Structure 1
Amino acid sequence: MTTPDPAWFERDPLELAPLLLGGVLRRADASGAVALRLTEVEAYRGSDDPGAHTFRGKTARNATMFGPGGHVYCYFTYGMHHAVNIVAGPEGSGWGVLVRAGEVVEGYELARDRRHIRRTTVITGELARGPGNVAQALGATLADNGAAFAAPAPGHRVGPRVTAGHRVGPQARIEMTPTWSFEPAPAPPPHRTGPRVGVSGPGGDASAYPWRFWIPGEPSVSAYRPATQRRR
């Protein structure tokens, strides 16, 4: 899998977002690897975008978005789930692209098992439809925030490693730093654009911010839902 140079990601998110469609986002850890062919993303444009986490400037939570492109911005939202973003633009811009949906093309069983953890019924259909399901299928958590995309080394084998100084056996301590990679599609597929899902206030204006990009006809793509006011 060939991950582009970090400079490839240092674009305006409105330019980067459609280039991500059809590409393969992959995360590997000690449990194995899961890869998604991206089918739906949303662009967020920093101080120019009232829907962006970075609209009001840099904080401890969103600091990764102000770093250079080619990194993962992962956050926890609504006290319920994580979300995965790809940092865009040059350092200091606060730009990024939210991964909204994808088709599982590697590690289907692992993704399915991760999605089953908080359910009592078997999942049928798409495993990575919606940002929370994307993160859960990939196994992404806040520990992944700030991870850089890198191509697996030649001969790379997904699986656990034994910490130095520990014997292989029942007492061995297994560790593996998660690795992320992204391979663009040879040619970005045709796409459509429209309003972002669940963005409230001015950033949810469908005519001013039609910054959701998706591949038409893909079953993993979300159904559009406008934002609703949350009760306090």
Structure 2
Amino acid sequence: MPSRKMLSPDLYKLTALQAGPLLLGQHLVRRTEDGEIRCRIVETESYGGAEDKGSHAYGGRRTARTEVMFSAGGTAYVYLIYGMYHCVNVVTGAEHDPHAVLIRAVEPLTSTDAARMAAYRGITVKKPASLSGGPGKLCRALRIDKSLNGCRLDDPFGPLWLEQGDSPENLDIAAAPRINIPYAEEYAPLPWRFYLRGNPYVSVIDKQAKPLILS
């Protein structure tokens, strides 16, 4: 049976840049009508507050869409892109300081989890990344949509939450630029995407990625 050991509240207090690599190896849990699905987070991107030109909240922009980013850390920020794909983020940091970590890829923990995710996607999985390697893919596989926007990720009785998984200090982590944000100008090439090197569920492998050592 799952341990149900919740993620440390201290992680939610960190900036997005600090929290991004520390979320790798942790478990994202989705409660559905068919049962719980557990996944290991294998790829993240950090969006570092009002000064980050890649962030929806750049310049302190507060709109109906971005308001959740100004919540206290531990809140889910879910939004729609291209009118069809949802993305899920972990809001971190202090209230009114908009930091968020995009979850870009997850790995199902068991074959049962994988089968349920494939059924929700309505696909035959030819390679792991096609199941949940990408923010839109994982949201479809976990039935995450805007109805979960604003839910607390530290509540194990809710629809979506985070539990402790692997110790990030023991993982082989790569750091690379974030994906598809040319509008972020000087922030675009910063190595604020983190992933587990060699994991088949990672969405994009960067041959120029650098190893990240956590102290």
What is the TM-score of this pair, normalised by structure 1? 0.78
Q: Are the counterparts in 2 of residues 19 and 184 from structure 1 also a CA contact under 8 Å?
A: no
Counterpart of 2:175 in structure 1 is: 193
Match for 1:29 among 10, 14, 32? 32
Deviation string, structure 1 residues 76-105 (Cα, Å, up to 9, x no partner): 111121001001111111101000011111
Which portions of structure 1, spanning 4 or more consecutive aligned residues, are displaced by more than 6 angstroms?
Answer: none
The change in CA–CA distance for 1:8 and 1:25 in structure 2 (over 3 A counts) is same
Counterpart of 1:108 in structure 2 is: 114
Supply the distance in 1 between the matched residues of 2:16 and 2:201 (Cα, whole angstroms).
22
Counterpart of 1:69 in structure 2 is: 73
Residue 216 (structure 1) aligned with residue 205 (structure 2): no
Number of residue pairs matched by the alignment: 197
Q: Secondary structure at the match of 2:153?
A: coil
Give the superposition deviation at 1:190. 2.4
Counterpart of 1:140 in structure 2 is: 144
Give the superposition deviation at 1:7. 3.8
The change in CA–CA distance for 1:128 and 1:19 in structure 2 (over 3 A counts) is same
Counterpart of 2:135 in structure 1 is: 131
Identity %: 32
Supply the distance in 2 between the matched residues of 1:103 and 1:152 (Cα, whole angstroms).
20
What is the TM-score of this pair, normalised by structure 2? 0.84
The change in CA–CA distance for 1:55 and 1:103 in structure 2 (over 3 A counts) is same
Give the superposition deviation at 1:202. 3.0
Q: Secondary structure at the match of 2:115?
A: helix
Q: Return 5+ residue gaps in structure 1 as ranges.
A: 154-176, 226-232
Supply the distance in 2 between the matched residues of 1:183 and 1:142 (Cα, whole angstroms).
25
Give the superposition deviation at 1:184. 4.1
Supply the distance in 2 between the matched residues of 1:40 and 1:85 (Cα, whole angstroms).
12
Counterpart of 1:4 in structure 2 is: 7
The change in CA–CA distance for 1:187 and 1:98 in structure 2 (over 3 A counts) is closer
Q: Are the counterparts in 2 of residues 7 and 70 from structure 1 also a CA contact under 8 Å?
A: no
Supply the distance in 1 between the matched residues of 2:185 and 2:56 (Cα, whole angstroms).
11
Structure showing greater Rg = 1
Q: Return 5+ residue gaps in structure 2 as ranges.
A: 207-215
Give the superposition deviation at 1:204. 6.9
The change in CA–CA distance for 1:45 and 1:139 in structure 2 (over 3 A counts) is same
Supply the distance in 2 between the matched residues of 1:186 and 1:224 (Cα, whole angstroms).
22
